[in-house]
Each structure stands twice: as C-alpha cells, then as structure tokens.
Structure 1
Amino acid sequence: MTSLTRLNLHENQLIYMPPSIALLSGLKVLTMQSNGIHVLPKPLCKLYKLESLDFSYNGMKKLLPYVGSLSHLRSLILAENELVELPIQTGRLKKLELLMLNKNKLDILHPTIGQLCCLTTLSLSYNRLTEIPSELYDLTNLKYLALDHNQLAYLSGAISSIKLACEIRLDNNLLTELPNSIGSLKSLQILSLGGNVFRELPDFLTALRSLKDLWVSEEHIFCSDGSSPSWIVDISGLTQLHIDNQPKRNLPDVVRLQGIGVVVDWIIRINDSRRSSSLSLTHFGLSECPYAPYRNLTSLDISDNKIGALSIEVLDLPTLVDLNVSR
C-alpha cells in the first residue's frame, strides 16, 4: 500500500499502532483523532512524506523526540490531550504551518518554538502557561495566535514583531497591563482581552485600524469615574463588540442586532447614567421594559419604543421622580 496518501482512523478506540504502519511510505495525511493512543508511535518517524498529522483527543501524555524527524510536516494537531511539554526536537519541523496544542497541560514552552519559521497558526489555549519565551515572537509569519485561558501575567512588547497577525486571543489570563506595541499591529482584525486583571483598556486600541472584532469584559467599558473610555467612541471600523459577563438584560438582543453603532450608543448612555442618575433609552425599538441597572435613578426616559408594560423592577425604583414612556 505504498501508494496510499491518506488514512483516516478517527474514533476507532485504538490504543496502539503496529510497526507495519511504517510500510505506508507514501502517506501524507494521517488522522488518528479520538482514539486512546497515549504516546506517539515510534514507527511514524519513518513516514518521511507525512504532511498532516492529527492525534487530538487521545489522552496523549508525552510527545517523544523523534517527532522532529517528520521534516515535511505542515500540520500538527495535538489538541485535547494531556501533554505537559513539547520536546525541543519539535523545533526541527521547519515546514510546519499549523500547530494546535489547545486544551493540554502545558506549563512551559521551550525556546525552540521560535524555530518554526513557517508557522502561521498557533493555538495554546487552555493550558497552564505562566510565561511565553521571547523566541515565540520570532514567528513573524503568524496570523493566528491563541494564548487565552492560561496563567500569563506579563506580555512582552516584542509581540509587535508578529506584524501579519490577524487574530490574537489573550482573554482569561492574569495580565495586569498590555504592551503599547500591540497598537502597531496594523493587520489585526480580531482581539480578545476579557477576563484579565487590568480594568481599563489602553487608548492604543484606536490605532488598530483593521480591527473588526473585539472581546472585552464588562468593566472595560467603564472608566473609574463612570464615563465611557475614549477607545469605545473613537475606534473606527469595529463591527463586533463582545462583552464577557454582560448580563443579557443589560444589553437586549434588539440592541445587539442593530450593530456596533447602536451598541456603543447604548453603552455610552448606560455609563452616563452612573454619574447623572438620569437614563435615556429612547429610539432603541425596545419591546419590553429594560432592566434599570442603577437603583439611584431619578429620571428614566424610555419613550419612542414599543414597550407594552412596565416591569416591576422599574416600578420599584425608590428614587425615581421622572418617567417617560410615551410613544
């Protein structure tokens, strides 16, 4: 079967591979997803033409050094395993373009990660990383970088080296600040930042002219004085704003579906009411009474909507003296 180029053994409850797999010398694509192979089989190192290897969902605990002999490999998918580190020989995979390591138990990355010069997609989501080696930023061809759901407390300004990056995921870490150099990533279209320690987003976000999709936490849309941050007003080109932990009742679907401009208008009005105790939510097309987020409101204007009845939450506002529900 030397002419075989593709082999899919997905979900077969395999726990080992026979040495005869090495006889498939023409194999280019091997899919072993969702089996029970805990160690990468050594005979695979003789499949010199292999370009794509998928061992995701196997409970794999260790990747042995001979993986570095697969010199033609372009895609390596090891997601949903139990790997705690990669062998330094992984750096020999000079043609590798895609490396998926999300949902493992990685707590360290060796500097040799920076030798994967052709890499365009790197997913390290849902691991245990506390730091990133500076060599990772040598991967100047990266377009997708996922570092979310780790334990990173610091991000180097060298991240600006990956100038081709279109999507960077940094959410759910322990970051206390972001390097200003992120503002120089002119190709960046998707950026996720929610679930970190920092409470305010830097103004350099307005420099990201290609940014279309931004993920933040609820506290990021408020300044410490209750006003709206400048980036939310000045950022141009944004088409999607995702707010983690934002209760649906605070951002109704009818508002969300009207686009980023309407969402920003809603956020600004909510923010302004924190300081003035007056809230105007007119002309949003609301069909039901919105949740009143602040108990100290004295004035609430929900006119020019489609509201049929007032909610108990609004009627129970203790300091409300001015209510407008006209159409």
Structure 2
Amino acid sequence: MSRSTKDGTTSSAITRLTVDGATLLEVAPADYAHLLGLAPEHLHDDRYRPPVTSVLQVWELLTAKAPWPEVARLLVRRSHLGALGVWDYVLTSAPTLLDGIKDASTHLGVMADVANEAIEVVENGRQVTITHVSRADSSYEVACARRAYCLGLYQRRLSEAARRRLVPVRVSLAAETPRDHTPLVELYGTRSIDFKAPLSSITFLAADLCAPVPYAAPGLSVLLRRQAELALDAAIPLHNWLDVFRAAVRAAHTEDGMTLCSVARRLGLSPRTLQRRLEEHGTNWRDQVEDVRREQITHLLRNTDLSMESIAARAGYADTRALRRAVQRWYGHTPAVLRQSLTAATRKA
C-alpha cells in the first residue's frame, strides 16, 4: 500500500490521546464514539489510522470545554514517553537531540498526516528553531490548541532525551494573545512567549541540542527508524465506511472465519443490511472477499517462505489447485512465478 493512501489519516496513538483528553474534560462519549475510526477495535490497535477529520472533531469538543491553552497543557501532560509509539523513541534515541528532532521530522508520518503536518528545523548560529507547520482545516481554537500542544510535545520529548528540562529561548505562537496564558507559561517553563507570529515555533540554544544524548545506545536509532518505516508501511488507513468494512473482513479472516454473518456481527449489522451497504458502495461480498484473499496471498508470497499448501490453507482455499487458479486469474502467472518476481522486486527496492 503506497504512502499516499495514508494521507488524511493519523495514528491511533494520537487519536487515543485526544480521546483521553475528552474523558478528562468530561466530554460525553456519545458526542464522539460514533466517529469513523473511534470504535474500540480501531482505537486500541496501532495498525489502524483513523481519519484526521474524526480527530479534529474531538479537538473541537475539547476546545468547547476548556480554553485552548489549557487543552494544550493537559494533552502534553498526558503525553508520557511511549504514548505515541515508535515515533517517541525515534526522537529520544538519536545520538544528539538535534539528530533526534530531525529524525522525528523525517518520520512524522508514522504519527501524523504528513499531507498537512510538518516539522521544520532551522539552525541559526547559537540557536535552533523548531517550527510546527499545519495546513489542516480546523477552527481557530483547535488550530491554536494543536500548535501549542505540538511545541510542548517537542519540548517534553527533547527534555526526556536530555534527562533534564530544557527551557526554550523563546516560543512563538500563531495565535492572538489569550485572555489567560498562564497555562502556556507553565507548559513551556518561560514567559518569553510571542503571540501573533506568522508560524508557531520553539527555539532552543544550539549547545543544548547538539550535546550527546545521555546513555544513547549505538545503533539503536537506526533500528528505530527502520521500525517506524515498517509500521507506516503496514498501517491500515480508515478513510470511509468501506475501509472499516475491509478491516472487519481481515480480522474475521484471521480470528473466526471470513463469513458474511461473522463480519456483519462485527459491524453491528444484519447480513442483509451489510449486503445493502456494500451495494451502495458499488461492490459486493464476493468481490471484497476476493480482494482480501488476493492481498493476503500476495503478502505471503512476497514476505514468507511458506509452502503453497500452507498459503492455500491460510487463504481459505481447499487445496493448491484452487490457489493456483486464483493467482492465475489475478496476475496471469502461477504462484511460484509470482513469488519469484515479487521477491526480485523487493530486493531491488
């Protein structure tokens, strides 16, 4: 699955954090539980990527409950090391803090929607400025809260890597001066906060960011960056109802058998209603099962040494002859020939 298919989605980790904030601010679950990608089976499984639109709606509920500086402070406090998955460790395990934030920028896609979010790092003599760029379509209050949160998150992770609290030289926020910015002073540990800036950024002394990270393990950073790449490649984006349906088909195929009734039960629908929903999306049960099997078989041929008998059994085929007929129909090649071509293409990449 190409990286572009992840555009418009974000990690389940950042989604869980946002929902955690909603719980703390006593937002009624009924106000957000129905949103796409927020079902428990998606929210608590790091393979899935809910749509950004769902997460932004939860942010809207947060900023309706509390001023945006308080929302930003609350979520940074809840963002303990590890809460955002492998991205946290990519940032904190590099040889220097500067390397860490640059790596975090490169691998931001594992946590956020890089079609609309970016981290820019500029070295300027004795200072390093980290800018959070966001093009996500949101209300003013939400935009302010998210920018302030991201800067606070970067400061917290850098401080955790340094094993001491780093105090920024200054913080600049693309926001009007709030009525009370005490939460921001507490968040950043400084009163040097500029408002009405063109972009939101946080600036540190270069000496703080260029010093070696205490207890950094040689080679660990390389492994974590690779893990971030693999996690993003394997992620399942949930753009619409059809994506949610396909996720239910995959789960049913793995756990309790890929039948119309079992998938309908997972989705809380009757089999008849499920069939009708599929028709509304221009597809049907048989074609979707075929797609899931093709996806699984292709993955197994490319990435494993399993025998054809094992692959046929895992895909739900009676024998290798049924597997051969299916692969021949999809690709015009036998499974053995397809495996050779897929393996060769992977090696070249």
Same fold per superposition (TM over 0.5): no
Q: Using structure 2 for the length normalisation, give the TM-score.
A: 0.20
Select the structure of larger CA radius of gyration.
1
**Greater per-residue helix proportion:** 2
Q: Using structure 1 for the length normalisation, give the TM-score.
A: 0.21
Greater relative contact order structure (CA < 8 Å, 6+ sep): 2
